[in-house]
Amino acid sequence: MTFGVDLNVKTVSIPDTNDSVELFIYDSSGQEFYNDWLSRYWHEVNILMVVCDVTSELSLNSVSQWVALVHNSLPDKAASTTPGVLFGNKTDLVDRRVVSPKAGSALAEKLGLVYFEGSAKENQGIEEPFFLLAHEWHKLYNEKKSSFDLIA
């Protein structure tokens, strides 16, 4: 169980460039008890990953609420431009699965997120979402940099 927030750092190399993106990952607890306090960490969120459990309908049904909480803590406009993914976790529990890939991706699309799934336990499918987020952020960074270079 995560108490409040854990900070992790992960470095992702961007292919065909000499760049790498260092992700500062604020792993926030899913306990509602911390909600008010967590939003303090979310003001400057650049990318978003929501993890749900494919063996739990309740988990999938809570995703919109979490996304709304994060988006509400962002400045105007940032909510629609912040790259985000939804990760359906625990695909190793095949017999207990209740959330289909279709349901996961439909919800993700509705919320403007890209859907991935896999198993943290089995180390399956867990690199791809980080890679996509680092890549998206790198693109945004380059776009911003080009507009600054134009002004300078």
Q: Is 42 within 8 Å of 73 (Cβ atoms)?
A: yes
Q: Give Dmax over CA atoms of the chain in angstroms.
A: 59
| CB closer to Mg ion, 2 vs 81 | 2
Q: Which of 42, 69, 92, 140 binds ligand GTP (CB under 6 A)?
A: 92
Minimum Å gap between C-beta 16 and ligand GTP is 32
Give the HSE-up count for residue 152: Cα atoms under 13 Å, Cβ half-sphere.
Answer: 6
CA 105 vs. chain centroid, Å, equals: 14
CA-nearest of 64, 113, 117 to 93 is 117
Sole window of 13-21, 25-33, 68-76, 141-149 interacting with ligand GTP (rule: CB under 6 A): 25-33
Residue 71 in contact with ligand GTP, rule: CB under 6 A: no
Q: Is 63 within 8 Å of 27 (Cβ atoms)?
A: no
| CB closer to ligand GTP, 29 vs 135 | 29
Residue 65 in contact with ligand GTP, rule: CB under 6 A: no
Q: How far is CA 72 from CA 40, 41, 86, 140, 143, in A?
A: 11, 12, 18, 21, 25
Q: Which of 14, 25, 30, 69 binds ligand GTP (CB under 6 A)?
A: 30
Minimum Å gap between C-beta 146 and ligand GTP is 38
Binding site for Mg ion (CB under 5 A): 2
**Interface with ligand GTP (CB under 6 A):** 1-2, 29-31, 89-90, 92-93, 119-121
